[in-house]
Structure 1
């Protein structure tokens, strides 16, 4: 213990250099922990995007592609599902509920989702949390729209505002549906999922937008059909993009999945959301590991800075070591003193790094959740994070062996006759 007190006194005597070394270690430790915290929470956020859904059904393509456009609103479907296929799925005795999804339009860069009221009843996220209406109500009229929390906040919309939807998914669209404006009737509570970045309308409303369109452009042979005229038409959809299914029994999941994949009416594919999420995360693991390796090199850089500072100070401290020898310190004590200094610097750096991490989370928590849907909790470090911090301290002790060994050798030969 006396060596540690002596090491702290020595560090305090060289406080400016010590503070720079501690700051470098703190930044590197903070970065390493931040990368690990973001990685863990991003994985949790991915997994909590959809909950309670047993199967996702879409046109036959890839499992990841189907998951991306149906759940994360990224990309587009290769084909649609016929309405009669959806009806058969819904009426299957093994199916408890079915949520139809129809994509294709947007509003100022945000995706528009056509669905029905079962979406607000059965769609869950996180730990089986339901969707909640923060303001207003679900859609009832043909031209009602319910906004996700991020859409309403970013575009500053309120209940009662009228908006115009655009054809396609571009941020800037040259073709819109100005003749059929929608009225905002509800705003969903924030979920931290793609729901926040989505505008929700009825399937009939989606059909009304395109009743006088053909192949992505207004059909000239049909003539213009106004919003009031559209109300008089049969707006049963001809096709939808995907279906979310909840089953009466989890045991029937695989058998129904096989039945859907072998469906002869049209090429369909059913995926398990959890399995597809794991596949999606595995595709991102390379970038994740690369970022982690970069963080490790940053930590190594900080520790090398500590090594440089200790080695540089050795020549200046040879008289100090000689005086310690004269009052009874052994070469082993000198070795222990340098090791204690290295450990003290690393420990202060790790503690400061934890402080920087939590200060950063406290400041960035709300904006990160608002803009990226990523919640960073202010919790104690996990067991893995403690092991990372322990690794930093262990590496500091290992690196500290070099200046400690040099001080040990010098103390054997210098005595009190140090040449300055």
Structure 2
């Protein structure tokens, strides 16, 4: 009986109630959307590098090593000598190893020297390999492969020439040894998108005429002569390692950390990523806080709507009282109406969320490399929806109590 009355009352005020439900729906969709983006960003963050068991570099901090070797942020405190790299490479536990050399740049994008094995071993998003959108992996000494963001920002195509600058934010360029873009990578949503990749030998080649960070005055070796040189590097920045058995990871890590020839550090990418996420996790808390405030604002708006309708509904309440309804029935009616509005808003918000995910998922993935999976509600999200309904019932108690007192006073009035 009371449910039918509540539904009829809501339908009688369809426009006002509809706007209130829409406000709750939009706030719920925003809150759950932020939750999806948060979890998607965290998963994408953790999937920046996948399938690599250890990262090795000069001894520093684990987060610092992760930042400059994977995210291209900051610089190494020191390099890893080529002899040490070779010693590690021949250890029985090592299945594969990929060297990385950093230090130069191209128009604010980092340049990374490595081997072609990088394209076979670097994985992201739970095991995906890098894919070439156009062209091919570098084959010539002065070939370069650029990430999707590099190509999009600078308008590059396969075959375009590029000149690498010495160091970061440097005005000195290696103009005498220009590169040619041999390939452009598909967007990955990882720092690879913002990287220019060349061979280790190419890094050595462009520094043939350089000494102590500066070009030797008057010296310029032709590319043909450089091609005949021994371009084995003396040092690299870091190395990615895959082990033959996961049981050997910690033993190899300990051996590298105790390497007697030079101070080295081996880190587990997953552990270092968790440490880094804890540092940047304050943004996650801020997002949740802002979206929660939007939901609270919508619920307060619902309470204000109920309050504003009380005087208009005084006649309705008097009729209910005249028909024998007790004041607690009036209170229960308003609370039930609020629960129905909150529940309808939550369901509509959930529908808006999944429609938005279905439409926006490929667009967000292609634009930002952020994968938002379309999955059933998690337990946490289900509790959020129930919490919205419960909060709707709670905030409605204030106007419902006022209606209870009004109906009680009206029932005690003497009518002539």
Q: 1:20: how far off?
A: 3.6
* SS of residue paired to 1:98: strand
Choose the corresponding residue for 2:188, options 147, 169, 191.
191
Whole-Å separation in 1 of the counterparts to 2:340 and 2:222: 76
Provide the TM-score with structure 2 as the length reference: 0.93
Change in CA separation of 1:219 and 1:284 when aligned onto 2, cut-off 3 Å: same
Deviations 1:353-391 (A, max 9, x none): 334434544554345334432112333332211211111
- How does 1:101-112 map onto structure 2 within 5 Å? 101-112=100-111
Alignment RMSD, CA only?
2.2
Deviations 1:215-238 (A, max 9, x none): 3332227x1223223212221111
- How does 1:240-279 map onto structure 2 within 5 Å? 240-279=236-275
* Aligned counterpart, 1:18: 17
* Aligned counterpart, 1:230: 226
* SS of residue paired to 1:165: coil
Choose the corresponding residue for 1:288, options 264, 272, 284.
284
Choose the corresponding residue for 1:397, options 381, 393, 408.
393
Choose the corresponding residue for 2:179, options 173, 179, 182.
182
Answer whether contact 1:323 1:416 (CA < 8 A) is retained. no
* Aligned counterpart, 1:147: 146
For structure 2, list consecutive stretches of 5 or more residues without a partner in the other structure: none
Q: Which moved more, 1:174-183 or 1:32-41?
A: 174-183
Q: 1:275: how far off?
A: 0.7
Q: 1:413: how far off?
A: 2.5
Whole-Å separation in 2 of the counterparts to 1:380 and 1:8: 29
* Aligned counterpart, 2:339: 343
Answer whether contact 1:151 1:198 (CA < 8 A) is retained. yes
1:76 maps onto 2:75 in alignment: yes
Q: Which moved more, 1:8-17 or 1:200-209?
A: 8-17
Deviations 1:316-367 (A, max 9, x none): 2111111022223332321221012111221232233334434544554345
Whole-Å separation in 1 of the counterparts to 2:16 and 2:192: 51
1:51 maps onto 2:47 in alignment: no
Provide the TM-score with structure 1 as the length reference: 0.92
Whole-Å separation in 2 of the counterparts to 1:55 and 1:11: 61
* SS of residue paired to 2:171: coil
* Aligned counterpart, 1:300: 296
Whole-Å separation in 1 of the counterparts to 2:27 and 2:385: 11
Answer whether contact 1:318 1:418 (CA < 8 A) is retained. no
For structure 1, list consecutive stretches of 5 or more residues without a partner in the other structure: none
